[in-house]
Amino acid sequence: MATRRNRRVMEQLLQKETKMNTEPERKFGVVVVGVGRAGSVRIRDLRSPHASSAFLNLIGFVSRRELGSIDEVPQISLEEALSSQEVEVAFICSESSSHEDYIRQFLNAGKHVLVEYPMTLSWVAAKDLWELAEQKGKVLHEEHVELLMEEFAFLKKEVVGKDLLKGSLLFTAAPLEEERFGFPAFSGISRLTWLVSLFGELSLVSATLEERKEDQYMKMTVCLETENKSPLTWIEEKAPGLKRNRRLSFHFRSGSLENMPNVGINKNIFLKDQNIFVQKLLGQFSEEELAAEKKRILHCLWLAGEIQKHCCSKQ
């Protein structure tokens, strides 16, 4: 049964790729909002000769900085991007605190939207924006490149069919400005997305936040439970000089997985995400697939909000 289902999934993916490799009947005009690391990668991919890029026509970029142009791509104003009939798609690559406002403006202007995670810094806002996208008949896609990484593909194979007893995921990195990137449960939502994607919907048991602002130190400790009551601990620790690192430990009835082996280099993960977005524009995702993705994203945003409430109530 599982083999037939896997074969069917592979056939569907091949069909989608085949459709994308055909000559496009039309191109969607795209504007990139924000030209930091993610925005620069998006511009590079849009200008490269890839299958999904053939369906997209880069019109320009929007930035608060006066840059004029980047690699011959012109800077345009936000007002021009919103009002132009040429622009049909917005890639929102700005800091997280600005996502909600940009998404709302572009959806109201009748544009499709791709946004880097997290979509918003609140579950209520995300739910509202998805309803707006559905009212407008537009695609709203939240990027999750962490699900396209080689490490996640390895983990997915490792945990499938196994009975989890307990697990933990620790992430360390340099600090982020909360005003720009949100509370740690939102800025670190890719780790939460890993756990939910691997083990299903989770419930919150407890959450604490330790801070030493004079040292720019932060440690968030979150205790979660699977539907089978198996405990999962998620820790985000950030301070100047801390290297970006991920450590995990999963214990199953049939054995344990301690830390991540070297499973290869992550290649073109933003391009892979662009491919998924174009498939959505072309109507190549089923209603069931879209509904499952929406449910997962909203669940993670809801959990992040609950974690923030728990941490703030104890300070």
Phi-psi region of 86 (alpha: psi -120 to 50; beta: other; left: phi over 0): alpha
Q: Which residue has the tokens 């959806």?
A: 107
Residues in Cβ contact with 154 at an 8 Å cutoff, skipping those fewer than 6 apart: 260, 261, 263
Using 50, 70 and 90 to split pLDDT, how confident is the model at 214?
very high
Q: Compute the distance between CA of residue 148 and CA of residue 271 in angstroms, rounded to an integer.
A: 10
Burial of 52 from C-beta contacts in 10 A (0-12 / 13-18 / 19+): buried
Residue 69: is its pLDDT beyond 60? yes
Range of lowest pLDDT (1-15, 20-34, 131-145, 149-163): 1-15
Q: Is the pLDDT confidence value at 5 over 70?
A: no
Q: How many residues does the chain have?
A: 315
86 is catalytic: no
202 to 182, 210, 251, 253: CA distances (angstroms):
21, 23, 17, 20
143 catalytic? Reply is: yes
Q: Spot the catalytic one: 42, 63, 122, 191.
A: 191
Residue with tokens 């994203």: 297
pLDDT at 26: 75
Task: Write down the catalytic residue from 100, 116, 142, 236.
Answer: 116
Tell me whether residue 116 is one of the annotated catalytic residues. Answer: yes
pLDDT confidence band for 19 (50 / 70 / 90): low
| Rounded Cα gap, residues 291 and 287, in angstroms | 6
Checking DSSP bridges between strand 255-258 and strand 56-62, what pairing results, if any?
unpaired
Q: Which of 88, 146, 236, 296 is catalytic?
A: 146
Phi, psi (rounded to 5 degrees) for 143: -65, 135
313 a catalytic residue: no
Task: Please tell me whether the overall predicted TM-score, pTM, comes out greater than 0.85 for this model.
Answer: yes
Look up residue 221 and give its two tokens.
């400790």
pLDDT (average), residues 86-102 = 97
Could you confirm whether 191 is annotated as catalytic? yes
**Statement: residue 6 has pLDDT above 50:** no
Paired tokens of 216: 């720019």
Neighbours of 310 (CB within 10 A): 18
What values do phi and psi take at 121, rounded to 5?
-105, 25
- HSE of 171, CA atoms in CB hemisphere, 13 A: 17
Q: How confident is the model at residue 18 (pLDDT cuts 50, 70, 90)?
A: very low
Peptide bond into 175 cis (omega under 30): no
Compute the Cα dihedral for 277, 282, 283, 285 and give only its sign. negative
| Catalytic residue of the set 117, 122, 142, 236 | 117
The single residue listed with the structure tokens 């890029």 is 53
Active site residue 102: no
The whole-angstrom separation of Cα 112 and Cα 106 is 7
Which has the minimum average pLDDT: 112-121, 191-200, 224-233, 264-273? 264-273
Q: Taking the CB of residue 47, how many other CB atoms lie within 10 A of it? A: 15
Cα–Cα distance measured from residue 161 to residue 264, given in angstroms and rounded to the nearest whole number? 24
Per DSSP, the three-state class of 200 is coil
Structure tokens at 67: 């840059």
- The mean pLDDT of the chain is 92
pLDDT at 145: 95
pLDDT of residue 186: 98
> Is the pLDDT assigned to residue 14 strictly greater than 60?
no
Residue labelled with tokens 């919907």: 201
Closest of 38, 276, 110, 101 to residue 61, by C-alpha: 38
Q: Tell me the Cα Rg of the chain.
A: 20
From the candidates 88, 100, 143, 236, give the one annotated as an active-site residue.
143
